[in-house]
C-alpha cells in the first residue's frame, strides 16, 4: 500500500523537511508540495490525494480554514508551531497534530497512525450487491434497489458515496468509490476524477474539461483520467 501525500507549508525549509521524511517511509509517497492553500486547491481539483500534511499558520488562508473549505477531504495531519490550535485541528477530524520543530521519530509515529487508519478502512464491510441491470445498497438501515440506467453520477464523500439519480434524491451508502467502480460495468460507467464516477450514457455536455449535468452540476475530469475519457469522446461524439 502506498499512501499518496500532499504537503502544504509556506516555509520552504519546513516543506523540504516534510518531503524528506515522507521519502524515508516506504508506505508514503509524495505527489505534490505546495507553498499555499490556493496552490493545493488547484492541485486537488485535478488529482487524487490520500493524506495531506497541512501547516496551520499560512498567509491569506490558514490550514484549518482551508481544510474546512474542502468538499472532498483527504485525511489530514496538521503541522504547526502553536499548540493552541490542537483542539481546532481535531474538530475537523484530523488524524494527528504535530508540533514544530518536527523530529523524524514524531513524524513516523504520526505516519503510522495514518497507515492504521487506511488499513482499517480497506477492511470495512461492503454494502453493495449488483446484478446486470441494477444494484442494491444499504442506506439508513434499508436495502435500496437502484436501476443502473437511473444513475447520473456517483460522488465520493469521505468513507461514503452519494449516488445521484435522474428523478430522485441522492442515495448515501457506506462504501469506497473504488469498490463501487469495481462493481459497475466498465462499458457504462467511468471514473473521471478521484471523487466522481459518471454514467457514460448520461453524458450529454462537456465544457472546459468538465462534464455538465442539468446545466448546473460541473464534474471535473482529473488529469490521470483524461486519456480514457478522451477515448470515450473520440468514439462517441462527432467532432
Instruction: For 142-166, write each residue's pLDDT tens digit.
Output: 888 999 999 999 998 767 889 999 9
How confident is residue 70, by pLDDT bands cut at 50, 70 and 90?
Answer: confident
Residues 133, 129: Cα–Cα separation, whole Å: 11
How confident is residue 34, by pLDDT bands cut at 50, 70 and 90?
Answer: very high
- Quick count: other Cβ atoms within 10 Å of Cβ 146? 19
pLDDT value, residue 128: 65
How confident is residue 92, by pLDDT bands cut at 50, 70 and 90?
Answer: low
Q: Is 141 left (phi over 0), alpha (psi -120 to 50) or beta?
A: left
Instruction: Round the average pLDDT of the chain to a whole number and report it.
Output: 87
79: phi then psi, degrees, rounded to nearest 5: -125, 135
Residues 73-89 pLDDT 10s: 889 999 988 766 555 65
Find the mean pLDDT for residues 180-185: 90
Task: Name all domains of the chain by residue range, CATH numbers in brackets.
Answer: 3-122 (3.40.50.2300), 128-236 (2.40.50.1020)
Cα dihedral sign, 129-134-139-142: negative
Q: Is the pTM of this model over 0.75?
A: no
Inter-residue contact 4 to 49 (CB < 8 Å): yes
Amino acid at each position: 500500500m502506498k499512501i499518496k501525500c500532499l504537503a502544504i507549508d509556506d516555509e520552504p525549509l519546513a516543506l523540504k523537511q516534510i518531503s524528506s521524511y515522507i521519502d524515508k517511509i516506504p508506505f508514503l509517497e509524495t505527489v505534490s508540495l505546495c507553498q499555499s492553500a490556493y496552490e493545493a486547491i488547484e492541485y486537488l481539483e485535478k488529482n487524487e490525494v490520500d493524506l495531506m500534511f497541512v501547516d496551520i499558520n499560512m498567509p491569506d488562508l490558514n490550514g484549518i480554514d482551508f481544510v474546512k473549505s474542502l468538499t472532498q477531504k483527504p485525511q489530514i495531519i496538521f503541522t504547526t508551531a502553536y499548540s493552541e490550535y490542537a483542539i481546532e485541528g481535531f474538530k475537523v477530524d484530523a488524524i494527528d497534530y504535530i508540533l514544530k520543530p518536527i523530529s523524524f521519530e514524531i513524524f513516523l509515529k504520526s505516519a503510522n497512525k495514518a497507515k492504521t487508519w487506511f488499513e482499517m478502512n480497506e477492511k470495512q464491510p461492503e454494502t453493495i450487491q449488483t446484478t446486470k441491470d441494477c444494484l442494491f445498497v444499504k442506506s439508513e438501515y434499508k436495502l435500496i434497489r437502484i436501476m443502473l440506467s437511473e444513475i447520473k453520477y456517483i460522488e465520493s464523500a469521505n468513507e461514503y458515496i452519494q449516488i445521484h439519480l435522474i428523478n430522485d434524491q441522492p442515495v448515501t451508502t457506506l462504501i469506497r468509490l473504488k469498490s463501487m467502480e469495481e462493481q459497475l460495468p466498465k462499458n457504462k460507467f467511468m471514473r473521471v476524477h478521484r471523487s466522481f464516477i459518471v454514467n457514460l450514457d448520461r453524458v450529454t455536455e462537456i465544457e472546459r474539461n468538465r462534464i455538465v449535468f442539468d446545466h448546473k452540476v460541473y464534474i471535473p475530469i482529473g488529469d490521470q483520467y483524461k486519456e480514457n475519457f478522451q477515448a470515450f469522446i473520440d468514439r462517441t461524439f462527432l467532432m
